[in-house]
Amino acid sequence: MNFFEHQAAARRTTSRLMVLFVLAVLCIVGMVDLVASLVSHSWRMLAFTTGVTLLTILFGSLYRIASLSGGGESVAQGMGGTLVPADTTDPALRRLRNVVEEISIASGVPVPKLYVLEHEAAINAFAAGFSPSDAVVAVTRGALDRLNRDELQGVIAHEFSHILNGDMRLNIRLIGVLFGILMIGVIGRKVLEYGRFGGGRDRGGGAIWVVALVALVIGYIGLFFGRMIKAGVSRSRERLADASAVQFTRQTVGLAGALKKIAGLEEGSRMQDRGNTEEVSHMLFGDGLGFSGLFATHPPLMERIQALEPGFRDAQLARLQADWRVSPPDGMQEDMALGLTTTETTRLPHASSEIRVLPTQVSAQVAMPAADDYQRADAIATALPDALRDLARGRDSVMPLLLAMLLVDDAHTQGLQRQAVVSALGSEVAEYALRIHQQLTADLHPALRLPLASLAFPVLRQRPRPALDTFLACVQAVIHADGHVGLFEYCLGKLLDVHVREALDPSRYARFGRRKPGNVRDEFATLLAVVAQAGNADASAAKRAYLAGLQRILPRDHLPYAPPAQGVLALEQVWAPLDALDPLAKQVMVEAITEAISSDGRVNVAEAELLRTICAVLHCPLPAMLAQVGANAAVPTVE
């Protein structure tokens, strides 16, 4: 399946989850009513117990969902995770961040925040959040210590597939839904604990104790259904994530090696914090609880290993277990022995490079990076000057850096932009941004501009909300300082706005669309007209590009070419309706946009930036390059 088919499948899974939830609730209500009927034959009593049970389950689910509205960070912090600083000098954490940044560039999503579960010696990891903009990737200390770079890369790639395929929002909603099912049992357990430690000894204490015990028993019924639902939803998606990780990393050795270490080491993937692990077990890379059979949230380890290495047998695993009992593996030492401390580099294309692309190839690349994408991501990451990477990771330098990327060389316009920065953030930030702009002009390849911005997003999102609101307003003031909005200015400004605002309020943007192309004809026409106008100076060529794109998505409609007077700013009216499209309709939309951009037979870096921005805003992340027709070469679309 491609990305859009994965999204459609995730939407169907969400619907199936709600059906299973309703069935579980009906079973729990039925059990409560059965107990109530044994005590009283009054229909009023049955109605009362039914209402209380339903309200309890509903309240529990809504409460837990609300508590997770902060997105991935709330899950990672609830598991006891420690944030990995962007400028860390710890070799293991630096290796983790480098791997994550490379895969982010290759897949076209913002760099997620990183957490480490320092208290967990097992090998495990998870990705959490509502969307790529608020995603968090957490790994255990055991994964950092035991896995070499290739193996860590395989685990992280597995987690990125959950980010890209819509699994995260499904997983985080599953936590909320299942908490409601377990709410009756939670109440019963709390009442029993209160009674044990000093309460419940009055005349009604015995009755309360019996009610609590019954609630606890019924809670175990909810736990049974909860585990069944998690297992049914999770197993197939774990298999797909393994397959995607292999595609990401270009080899099976890394992921298979990580799974072998889980199977061969005593700690395995079982987590120490079983209370919190129960809630997030369906999100983990490996089984964190040790369940099997109907309750297993993951396929058996040997099945997963043999899917990657068909010839691997139990006897080989036994030998590894014996060796590791004597000398447990050390991931960093293995890196040095295997020569994995450095990555192969590739030259970036010339700044004026142009290529030919096919719309179907581009749509197939959305959230599905292949070997060439990862190779180019390595090249981009290596080509970024260290001094600029340090600026992107610095709390005090990240805002001046992003503003510097928006400054122009024209003296008059730059003066207006400087005034806008001074008004919003002060003269010190304005002067810092001007100095960085000179550095960017001298040192930065055009294809590296948006990848550099992507590295800055996690640090930027750590600032307080009022500071971010002020910064985003300043960005818009700088972009509009001279009354003209250029293509790159709009692209960077829009990506900043989308990624920051979604990270501030992640649950608001978590949805699967259902609209069809016929319901957004005017929005399609505006989008294609802007794309055609931006890529063609000649009006007749722009019209041909527009009609080529329209023919692909709305072949029966006759919408005249009417380029909007406000240029790229006209896109502000189309984002919400187009983002609400059905996943499979988005696939056709990406192909139509590509058709319009490439109608003249070539795509340059500026056009690729626009395509990349459109896809990012509409939650269809493109890898860091476009596949070229008839060749393995590609040009970065840039992040």
The per-residue pLDDT for range 22-48, each reduced to its tens digit, is 888 888 888 888 888 887 777 888 888
Amino acid at 466: P
Same domain, 495 and 532: no
Residue 354 lies in a domain: no
pLDDT tens, residue by residue, 381-414:
778 888 998 999 898 999 999 999 999 888 999 9
Residue 71 lies in a domain: yes
The number of residues making up the chain comes to: 639
Residue 311 CB coordination number (10 Å)? 6
End-of-domain residue from the set 509, 532, 548: 509
Same domain, 534 and 613: yes
Residue 349 lies in a domain: no
Same domain, 563 and 617: yes
pLDDT tens, residue by residue, 319-340:
999 999 999 999 999 988 877 6
Answer yes or no: is pLDDT of 583 > 60.
yes
Answer yes or no: is pLDDT of 637 > 60.
no
Answer yes or no: is pLDDT of 247 > 80.
no
Same domain, 16 and 51: yes
> What's the pLDDT score for residue 125?
96
CA distance 365 to 377: 14
> What's the pLDDT score for residue 7?
63
Catalytic member of 73, 101, 159, 609: 159
Residue 482 burial by Cβ neighbours in a 10 Å radius (0-12, 13-18, 19+): middle
Answer yes or no: is pLDDT of 193 > 60.
yes
Answer yes or no: is pLDDT of 148 > 90.
yes
Same domain, 160 and 85: yes
Answer yes or no: is pLDDT of 130 > 80.
yes
Of the chain, the percentage scoring pLDDT greater than 90 comes to 32
pLDDT tens, residue by residue, 538-574:
899 999 999 999 999 888 888 999 999 888 899 999 9
Residue 350 lies in a domain: no
Same domain, 100 and 219: yes
Answer yes or no: is pLDDT of 198 > 60.
no
Give the HSE-up count for residue 128: Cα atoms under 13 Å, Cβ half-sphere. Answer: 29
> What's the pLDDT score for residue 370?
67
CA distance 520 to 524: 6
Residue 443 lies in a domain: yes
pTM over 0.85: no
Give the HSE-up count for residue 4: Cα atoms under 13 Å, Cβ half-sphere. Answer: 24
Same domain, 5 and 82: yes
Residue 107 lies in a domain: yes
Residue 208 lies in a domain: yes
Residue 35 lies in a domain: yes
Same domain, 165 and 208: yes
309 given a catalytic annotation = no
pLDDT-derived band of residue 636, with 50, 70 and 90 as boundaries?
A: very low
Same domain, 527 and 557: yes
Same domain, 466 and 609: no
Same domain, 135 and 154: yes
pLDDT-derived band of residue 351, with 50, 70 and 90 as boundaries?
A: low
Concatenated DSSP letters of 42-95: -HHHHHHHHHHHHHHHHHHHHHHHHHTTTTHHHHHHHTT-EEPPTT---HHHHH
Question: Which helix (H) or strand (E) is 490 found in, with range?
Answer: helix 487-504
pLDDT tens, residue by residue, 613-624:
888 888 888 877
Same domain, 420 and 279: no
> What's the pLDDT score for residue 372?
67
Most confidently predicted of 33-37, 221-225, 311-315: 311-315
> What's the pLDDT score for residue 265?
94
Q: Which residues form the domain of 475?
A: 379-509
Split into its structural domains, the chain has a count of 3
> What's the pLDDT score for residue 345?
47
End-of-domain residue from the set 484, 509, 534: 509
> What's the pLDDT score for residue 627?
66
End-of-domain residue from the set 463, 489, 509: 509
Mean pLDDT value across residues 154-178: 83
